[in-house]
Structure 1
Amino acid sequence: MSWEEHFNRWNQFDQLDIKLQEQLTDLYNDEEKLKEAFHQYLTFGTGGMRGIIGPGTNRMNIYTVRKAAKGLATYLEEQGSGFKYRGVVVAYDSRYMSLDFALETAKVLGKHDIPTYIFSSLRPTPVLSFAVRHLGTAAGVMITASHNPPEYNGYKVYNEAGGQLPPGQADDLIEKVNAVEDELSIPVLEQHELEDEDLLRWIDDRVDEAYLDELENVALNRDVVKEQADNLNIVFTSLHGTANELMQTGLKEAGFNQVHVVEEQAEPDPEFSTVASPNPEEHQAFELAIRKGFDVGADVLVATDPDADRLGVAALNGEGEYQVLTGNQLGALMLDYILTHQSEIPDNAVMIKTIVTSELGKAVANDYGIETMNVLTGFKFIGEKIEEFSQTGEREFVFGYEESYGYLVKDFSRDKDALQSTVLASEMAAYYKSQGKTLFDALGELYERHGYYLEDLHSIKLEGLDGAEQINSIMEDFRENPVDSVEDLSVEAVEDYKAGTRTYVVSGEEESIDLPASNVVKFILSEGCWCCLRPSGTEPKIKFYFGVKGKTREEAESRLQQLKGSVLKRIDTQIIS
Structure 2
Amino acid sequence: MRQWEAIYDKWKNSEHLDDQLKQELDAMRDQPDLLEDAFYTDLAFGTGGMRGVLGPGTNRMNRHTIRKAVHALGRYLKKHYVNVHDRGVAVSYDSRHMSREFAVETAKVLGAHGMKAYVFDTLHPTPLLSFAVRYLGAAAGVMITASHNPPEYNGFKVYNDDGGQITPDEAAAITDEMASIDDELTVPYLEQSELEAQERLIWVGRDIDHAYLKYLEAMSQLDSAEQKRAKDLQIVFTPLHGTAHHLVLSGLQRLHFHQVDVVEEQVEPDPAFSTVDSPNPEEHQAFTMAMQRGKQTQADILIATDPDADRLGAAVKDANGDYTVLTGNQLGALLLDYILKHTDRQLLANARMIKTIVTSELGRRIAESYGVRTIDTLTGFKYIGEKIRQFETTGETFLFGYEESFGYLISDVVRDKDAVQAAIATCEMAYYWKKQGKTLDKALQSLYDAHGYYIEDMVSWKLTGKEGMETISDIMQAARTETMADIGGMPVQTVEDYWAGERITPGKEQTEPIKLPKDNVVKFLLAGDCWVCLRPSGTEPKLKCYVGVCGNHEAESRKRLTDLTAAMNEFLNRVSS
TM-score range, shorter chain: over 0.9
Q: How does 1:116-131 map onto structure 2 within 5 Å?
A: 116-131=117-132
Instruction: State the distance in 2 between where 1:286 and 1:218 align.
Output: 27
Q: Which residue of 2 aligns with 1:103?
A: 104
Shift of 1:226: 5.3
Q: Match of 1:306? A: 307
TM-score (norm 1): 0.97
Cα deviation, residue 174, structure 1: 2.1
CA contact (8 A) 1:228 1:434 kept: no
Equivalent position SS for 2:80: coil
CA distance in 2, matches of 1:476, 1:11: 44
Instruction: Look up the match of 2:359.
Output: 357
Count of aligned pairs: 575
Alignment check: 8 A CA contact 2:45 2:171 kept: no
Classify 1:228/1:442 alpha carbon distance in 2 versus 1 (closer, same or farther; 3 Å).
farther
RMSD: 1.4
- CA drift at 1:197: 1.9
C-alpha displacement of 1:329: 0.5
Shift of 1:509: 2.4
Structure 1 residue 377 corresponds to structure 2 residue 385: no
Partner of 1:368: 370
Matched position secondary structure for 1:78: helix
CA contact (8 A) 1:224 1:431 kept: no
Inter-partner Cα distance in structure 2 for 1:473 and 1:20:
40
Deviations 1:83-130 (A, max 9, x none): 343100100000000011111111111111011010001000111000
**Cα deviation 1:258-315 (Å, max 9, x = unaligned):** 1110000011000001000000000000000000101111000000000000000000
Q: Distance in 1 between matches of 2:297 and 2:226?
A: 19
C-alpha distance in structure 2 between counterparts of 1:81 and 1:421, whole Å: 35
Unaligned runs of 5+ in 1: none
Q: Is the 8 A contact 2:228 2:255 kept in 1?
A: no
Equivalences for residues 103-502 of structure 1 within 5 A: 103-222=104-223, 229-344=230-345, 345-390=347-392, 392-502=393-503
- Residue equivalent to 2:535: 534
Task: Find the aligned partners of 1:274 and 1:508 in 2 and give their Cα distance.
Answer: 57
Which amino acid is the alignment partner of residue 456 of structure 2?
Answer: E
Cα distance in 2, alignment partners of residues 337 and 552 from structure 1:
23
**Alpha carbons 2:234, 2:298 under 8 Å: kept:** yes
TM-score computed with the length of structure 2 as normaliser: 0.97
Pick closer, same or farther for the CA change 1:248–1:482 going to 2, 3 Å. farther
Amino acid at match of 2:258: N
Matched, 1:45 2:29: no
Find the residue that maps to 1:161 and give its secondary structure: coil
Percent identity over paired residues: 53
Q: Once the 2 structures are TM-superposed, how far is the Cα of residue 133 of structure 1 from its aligned partner? A: 0.5
How far apart, in 2, do the equivalents of 1:11 and 1:574 lie? Answer: 45
Structure 1 position 222, deviation (Å) = 4.1
What are the superposed Cα offsets for residues 22-75 of structure 1, whole Å, 9 maximum, x if unpaired? Answer: 111122121211111111111101021000000111100011101110110011
Is residue 85–residue 115 contact of structure 1 (8 Å, CA) maintained in 2? yes
Q: Which residue of 2 aligns with 1:57?
A: 58
- Of stretches 333-342 and 456-465 in structure 1, the one that deviates more from structure 2 is 456-465
Partner letter of residue 363 of structure 1? R
Any unmatched runs of 5+ in structure 2?
A: none
Residues in 2 aligned to 1:418 and 1:482: alpha-carbon distance in whole angstroms: 42
1:346-404 Cα offsets, whole Å, 9 max, x none, are 321110000000000000000011000000000011001111112x1421110000000
Structure 1: 4+ residue segments shifted above 3 A: 222-230
Give me the whole-angstrom Cα distance separating, in 1, the residues matched to 2:480 and 2:6.
Answer: 39
Residues 276, 456 of structure 1: alpha-carbon distance in 2 compared, 3 angstrom cutoff: same
Structure-2 residue corresponding to 1:570: 571
For the structure 1 residues 460 and 112, does the alpha-carbon distance in structure 2 shift closer, same or farther, using more than 3 Å as the test?
same
Opposite residue 382 of structure 2, the aligned amino acid is K
Asked if the contact 2:68–2:187 (Cα under 8 Å) also holds between the matched residues in 1, the reply is: yes
In the alignment, the residues of structure 2 paired with residue 536 and residue 215 of structure 1 have an alpha-carbon distance, to the nearest angstrom, of 33
Checking the alignment, whether the CA contact within 8 Å between 2:16 and 2:186 is kept in structure 1 is: no
* Secondary structure in 1 matching 2:544: strand
